[in-house]
């Protein structure tokens, strides 16, 4: 069946994307999975030996590599396009970067003046343009964006089963190896700027760039880690002396964070090559500096003092690595939510991808037998080294995958997708809170329409922003999607008529449209679907009981 599909399918199933999946969490074919801290350390170190080069549109790859090799051997390189041609080049040694910087000049601009910041982001110029006859091997660019909806529909309709559809969607949307490298490199370049104020600081990516749930095109969340500097300094005090820095004091941790981010924001705006549209959003609950990194095309959110968020990224990474169904289901739910405008890139009363991910994890903890363990259980498996206390919050959980027993649950993705919609289509959101620490519903401690407990800062609701009407939209769409999948089950034996089916049918905007057309009847139609669903289910249970009997 695959062979009869458009050529894109073969490309999509090629080795490149498959290897990118394994880069995140270790190989999917049973090879050991890497710990989160190992991945972070390895990639960070790689990024520090890497440079970003804006290239002329026509260059000879061979000569380009030969030219750069003068500074040392090159481990790895790739090209990508984003308003011009860019190369990411990873040297084997950090010294090569310094050697390249040494022979690089600051441009002399006609009427304007340059801020002479010597970064690892370069501009390559040709002294004489390449002539047409010289070797101009066409440069292969690595794609950095997600597939168009047309291509996605083609792929989904060609899939063999709903399970295959979910896995295809995951393969198409997950971050590629190159995109992940570019994310770590961007953090590393920002770290160089921040190091002007705080030498030895660390800028770490967190959120979907590293938690294995990131989709091509997602934002780049990073945080400026100054605690790491402190760790270097914890030498054993000798004798009776203890040395402290003379510092300026401010009334609170929050104010300190705001002041630090404020100067880094200024620095990025004035000196940061490729950083544009810098906005300081310092009054938010978690103060941040937002900017675009033009060369990589990433929308960046820089925070400081945000170790708990890094810990929650690690937790999601573990959940994503525990069972191969988790990421497939999360990606499909995220895409479904995006297709129906339940999520948005603009902040507001919408449900967020982070909340959706936690909802999927919770749902998988509720299966029988559970597909994912509770956070409290992961805490019981922790050893002394896993102990982690951040700002008074206990963030301890086991970090070694080998100590977590795989689930005995063998449910298909198709069933899980359907049951997810049914579960949340009928969830008592008015009474209950979603809690992945305990893996069961809790009474809502406050009246927000949607309450999802923050796994570490347990007094916080990660979906406090969600309005009643957005929650209702989610419930209505979940019910309709469950209904569509049930209908398909019933019609399974009828001849296919080239209509989008399975996941593809759920991503069609027409579902949402028909609902907004029937706006006035909305509540009743949603209730009707719920009742219809129940009647289908009870009749199919009766049938199966009858057959079994």
Residue position matching structure tokens 């809170």: 433
Maximal CA-CA distance, the chain: 88
Contact 173, 213 (CB under 8 A): no
The two tokens of residue 352 are: 């967020």
Stretch that binds Mg ion, among 205-213, 277-285, 487-495, 508-516 (CB under 5 A): 205-213
Residue position matching structure tokens 């398909």: 488
Contact 477, 511 (CB under 8 A): yes
Verify binding: residue 205, Mg ion, rule CB under 5 A: no
The only residue of 208, 211, 306, 313 in contact with Mg ion, by rule CB under 5 A: 208
Residue 205 CB, nearest approach to Mg ion (Å)? 9
Q: Which is nearer to ligand CTP, 92 or 394 (CB)?
A: 394
Q: Which is nearer to ligand CTP, 80 or 213 (CB)?
A: 213
Q: Which is nearer to Mg ion, 68 or 337 (CB)?
A: 337
| Partner from ligand CTP, Mg ion, none binding residue 312, C-beta < 5-8 Å depending on class | ligand CTP
Residue 353 CB, nearest approach to Mg ion (Å)? 7
Verify binding: residue 221, Mg ion, rule CB under 5 A: yes
Residues facing residue 373 across a β-bridge: none
Residue 220 CB, nearest approach to Mg ion (Å)? 7
Contact 326, 320 (CB under 8 A): yes
Verify binding: residue 219, Mg ion, rule CB under 5 A: yes
105: phi then psi, degrees, rounded to nearest 5: -110, 160
| Partner from Mg ion, ligand CTP, none binding residue 224, C-beta < 5-8 Å depending on class | none
Q: How far apart (Å, rounded) are the C-alpha atoms in residues 182 and 295?
A: 10
In a 10 Å sphere around its CB, with 0-12 CB exposed, 13-18 middle and 19+ buried, how is residue 354 labelled?
A: buried
Verify binding: residue 323, Mg ion, rule CB under 5 A: no
Residue count, binding to Mg ion (CB under 5 A): 4
The only residue of 26, 207, 265, 297 in contact with Mg ion, by rule CB under 5 A: 207
Q: Which is nearer to Mg ion, 219 or 419 (CB)?
A: 219
Residue 264 CB, nearest approach to Mg ion (Å)? 19
Q: Which is nearer to ligand CTP, 206 or 429 (CB)?
A: 206
Q: Which is nearer to ligand CTP, 164 or 221 (CB)?
A: 221
Q: Which is nearer to ligand CTP, 238 or 447 (CB)?
A: 447
| Partner from ligand CTP, Mg ion, none binding residue 309, C-beta < 5-8 Å depending on class | ligand CTP
* Interface ranges with ligand CTP (CB under 6 A): 206-208, 211, 214, 218-219, 221, 309, 312-313, 352-354, 454, 462
Contact 327, 170 (CB under 8 A): yes
| Partner from Mg ion, ligand CTP, none binding residue 50, C-beta < 5-8 Å depending on class | none
Residue 462 CB, nearest approach to ligand CTP (Å)? 4
Residue position matching structure tokens 């019910």: 479
Residue 458 CB, nearest approach to ligand CTP (Å)? 12
Listing DSSP states for 432-492 in one string gives EEB-TTTTS-EE-SS--SS-BB-SSSTT-BTTTT--HHHHHHHHHHHHHHHHHHHHHHHTT
Query: Residue 221's CB: how many other CB atoms inside 10 A?
Result: 26
Q: Is the peptide bond before 369 cis (omega within 30 degrees of 0)?
A: yes
Coil vs helix vs strand at 499: coil
Question: How far apart, in Å, do the first and last CA atoms of the chain sit?
Answer: 37
Binding interface with Mg ion (CB under 5 A): 207-208, 219, 221
């Amino acid at each position: 069946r695959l062979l009869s599909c458009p050529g894109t399918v073969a490309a999509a199933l090629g080795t490149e994307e498959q290897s990118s999946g394994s880069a995140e969490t270790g190989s999917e074919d049973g090879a050991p999975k890497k710990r989160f801290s190992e991945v972070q350390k390895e990639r960070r170190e790689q990024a520090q030996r890497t440079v970003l080069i804006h290239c002329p549109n026509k260059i000879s790859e061979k000569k380009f590599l030969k030219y750069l090799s003068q500074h040392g051997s090159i481990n790895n390189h790739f090209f990508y396009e984003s308003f011009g041609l860019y190369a990411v080049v990873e040297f084997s040694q950090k010294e090569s970067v310094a050697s390249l910087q040494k022979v690089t000049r600051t441009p002399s601009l006609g009427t304007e003046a340059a801020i002479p910041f010597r970064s690892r982001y370069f501009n390559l110029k040709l002294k004489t343009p390449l002539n047409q006859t010289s070797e101009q091997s066409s440069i292969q660019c690595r794609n950095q964006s997600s597939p168009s909806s047309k291509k996605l529909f083609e792929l989904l309709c060609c899939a063999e089963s709903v399970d295959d559809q979910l896995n295809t969607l995951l393969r198409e949307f997950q971050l590629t190896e190159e995109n992940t490298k570019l994310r770590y490199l961007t953090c590393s370049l920002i770290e160089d700027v921040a190091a002007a104020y705080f030498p030895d600081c660390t800028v770490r990516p967190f959120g979907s760039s590293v938690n294995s749930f990131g989709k091509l095109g997602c934002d780049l969340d990073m945080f400026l880690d100054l605690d790491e500097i402190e760790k270097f300094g914890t030498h054993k005090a000798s004798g009776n002396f203890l040395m402290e820095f003379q510092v300026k004091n401010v009334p609170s941790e929050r104010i300190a964070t705001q002041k630090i981010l404020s100067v880094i924001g200024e620095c990025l705006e004035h000196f940061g090559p490729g950083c544009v549209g810098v906005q300081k959003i310092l009054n938010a609950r978690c103060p941040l500096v937002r900017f675009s990194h033009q060369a990589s095309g990433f929308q960046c959110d820089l925070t400081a003092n945000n170790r708990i968020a890094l810990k929650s990224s690690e937790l999601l990474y573990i959940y994503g690595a525990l069972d191969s169904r988790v990421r497939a289901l999360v990606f499909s739910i995220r895409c479904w939510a995006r297709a129906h405008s339940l999520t948005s890139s603009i902040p507001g009363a919408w449900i967020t991808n982070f909340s959706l991910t936690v909802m999927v994890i919770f749902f998988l903890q509720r299966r029988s037998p559970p597909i994912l363990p509770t956070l409290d259980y992961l805490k019981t498996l922790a050893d002394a080294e896993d102990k982690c206390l951040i700002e008074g919050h206990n963030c301890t959980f086991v970090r070694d995958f080998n100590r977590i027993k795989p689930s005995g649950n063998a449910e298909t993705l198709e069933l899980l997708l359907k049951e997810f919609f049914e579960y949340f289509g009928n969830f008592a959101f008015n009474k209950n809170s979603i809690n992945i620490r305990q893996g069961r519903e809790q009474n809502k401690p406050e009246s927000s329409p949607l309450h999802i407990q923050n796994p570490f800062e347990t007094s916080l609701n990660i979906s406090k922003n969600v309005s009643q009407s957005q929650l209702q939209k989610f419930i209505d769409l979940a019910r309709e999607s469950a209904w569509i999948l049930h209908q398909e089950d019933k019609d399974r034996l009828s001849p296919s008529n080239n209509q989008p089916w399975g996941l593809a049918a759920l991503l069609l905007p027409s579902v949402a449209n028909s609902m907004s057309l029937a706006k006035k009847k909305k509540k009743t139609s949603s209730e009707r679907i719920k009742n219809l669903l129940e009647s289908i289910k009870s009749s199919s249970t009766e049938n199966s009981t009858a057959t079994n009997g």
